[in-house]
Copies of this chain bind each other. A is one copy, B any other.
Amino acid sequence: MSYMDSELFQPLIEAIVSGDQQAIAEASATFNAADLAEYIESARDDDEGLELLMALPLEQQAKVFGYLSLDRQHELVPRIPDQPLAALVTEMSADERADLFNFLDEDEQHRLFKSLARREREDLRRLASYEEGTAGAIMTSEYAVISSGMTVGAALTLLRRTAPDKETIYQAFVVDQDHKLIGAVSLRNLITAIPSAVVDSLMATGLISARTDTPQEEVARLISRYDLIALPIVDDNETLVGIVTYDDAMDVAEAEATEDMHKGATVGKLEAGLRNSSPFSLYRSRVHWLVILVFANIFTGAGIAYFEDTIAAHLALLFFLPLLVASAGNAGAQSATLMVRGIATGEVTAADWGRLLGKEFLVASALGLTMAAAVMLVGFIRAGVDIATVVAITMVLVVLIGSIIGMLLPFILYKVGFDPATASTPLITTIADVCGVLIYFSVATAVLGLG
């Protein structure tokens, strides 16, 4: 484990082996829920994980269970008897319960549903209905709410009483009689205000909020940009229906960055991480683009074949081929990655493209000239002044063209509504390869002739 030395778990393992519930509960009390979850996740023996989980006090048990991957939750649910399962899912936080529900097969969904009280059932039905990847799917219904017109004293009493069921009470949302969101007040402001004041007088208005269908990455971006503890989620009538808290936003941001990095190297979506994915799911996430690019590279091969006469006349040209096409691809990969990440973080917007293109033109020209200078000498020593000239001219052209393609492709994808991260390094490299081959041998044919 990265954070916990496995030796630290020794007393806990002994307690589990002894089967003494009391000893297990005591030994586990010294651990954080995230660490216990990691222990269960990586326990070689499934029974051991289950035994540990079931020996935990209910509140801790629900917390640890919530930290487990959906895969592991899914494995454990059928092995937990009805009574303890009902207690566990009732204690779980509403958003994690809905995630689990959506991951189960129909029989287990039914069993989970049955074990809930009526209010939780309705809540679950609603939360589980939102499309994956939206604010609705990651929000929780356990938010702190205050009615407009309440006094600070009454609001504090209400928050104290309902605190155990709320995801956070540090930000409480003020609603009117139709449950429309009209403001928010922080616990910090509440405890420093005069108890007889009306909450409306100290609430913040003009709140940042999102809708249930707002993409989750946009939710994470809003929370990060405005340093929020919780972002309120409203439906089409401005009615408050949930909140997303900062800790869930952090998880979303991390998952989105991982997905973008993977996409940048043509790896598709993985349900689990690298460590826990099966060989088959890894194969499936990788094979798609690899095969597409095999066929795309046939164009590069065809380009070379087209210039076979020039090559046969000047075999020395081949020496510089990898270096030139690779340089075009590398420069293109740089500009594409800068663009993809800039768009993802919200730093770069559609309005910027003209200015960025101009800047890229400048930068790429300077890069091309530098690299041309670097190969000129090698070219001269190895193959004489003619080929050195061809190589240097080609270098400037391919770096420029590779960079411009790298910059424009993510932009175009973004404008037409595709994910800009599809402009992966291997895709850019492949396009740059084709262009590189055509430019190189065209320049060579023009300068050197066919022999």
A258 to B257, CA, bound (A): 8
- Are B191 and A371 within 8 A (Cβ)? no
A162 to B104, CA, bound (A): 48
Say if the beta carbon of A150 comes within 8 Å of chain B: no
- Are B341 and A258 within 8 A (Cβ)? yes
Closest-CB distance, A330 to chain B (whole angstroms)? 4
Say if the beta carbon of A114 comes within 8 Å of chain B: no
Say if the beta carbon of A17 comes within 8 Å of chain B: no
Interface residues of A in 313-346 (CB under 8 A from B): 315-316, 318-323, 325-327, 329-331, 333-334, 336-342, 345-346
Which of these binds chain B: A116-124, A174-182, A286-294? A286-294
Which of these binds chain B: A81-89, A135-143, A247-255? A247-255
- Are A224 and B251 within 8 A (Cβ)? yes
Say if the beta carbon of A282 comes within 8 Å of chain B: yes
Say if the beta carbon of A22 comes within 8 Å of chain B: no
> Which of A30, A223, A327 has most B Cβ within 10 Å?
A327
CB-nearest residue of chain B relative to A276? Answer: B347
A225 to B430, CA, bound (A): 38
- Are A318 and B338 within 8 A (Cβ)? no
A51 to B331, CA, bound (A): 41
Say if the beta carbon of A367 comes within 8 Å of chain B: yes
Which of these binds chain B: A105-113, A125-133, A233-241, A299-307? A299-307
Q: Which of B160, B312, B331 is A191 in contact with, Cβ under 8 Å?
A: B160
Residues in chain B near residue A96, CB distance under 8 A = none
Copies of this chain, complex-wide, total 2
CB-nearest residue of chain B relative to A247? Answer: B227
Say if the beta carbon of A265 comes within 8 Å of chain B: yes
- Are A330 and B290 within 8 A (Cβ)? yes
Say if the beta carbon of A260 comes within 8 Å of chain B: yes
Say if the beta carbon of A405 comes within 8 Å of chain B: no
- Are B433 and A326 within 8 A (Cβ)? yes
> Which of A227, A247, A262 has most B Cβ within 10 Å?
A227
- Are B322 and A274 within 8 A (Cβ)? no
- Are B250 and A367 within 8 A (Cβ)? no
Residues in chain B near residue A363, CB distance under 8 A = 279, 282-283, 286
Closest-CB distance, A156 to chain B (whole angstroms)? 7
Given contacts A250-B224, A275-B342, A283-B367, A326 and B429 within 8 Å (CB-CB): yes
Which A residues are within 8 Å of any B CB, using their own CB?
1-3, 30, 32, 34, 156, 159-160, 163, 169-170, 187-188, 191-192, 206, 208, 222-227, 229, 246-247, 249-251, 253-254, 257-258, 260-262, 264-267, 273-275, 279, 282-283, 286-287, 289-291, 293-295, 297-298, 300-302, 304-305, 308, 311-312, 315-316, 318-323, 325-327, 329-331, 333-334, 336-342, 345-349, 352, 356, 359, 362-363, 366-367, 370-371, 374-375, 378, 399, 425-426, 429-430, 433, 437
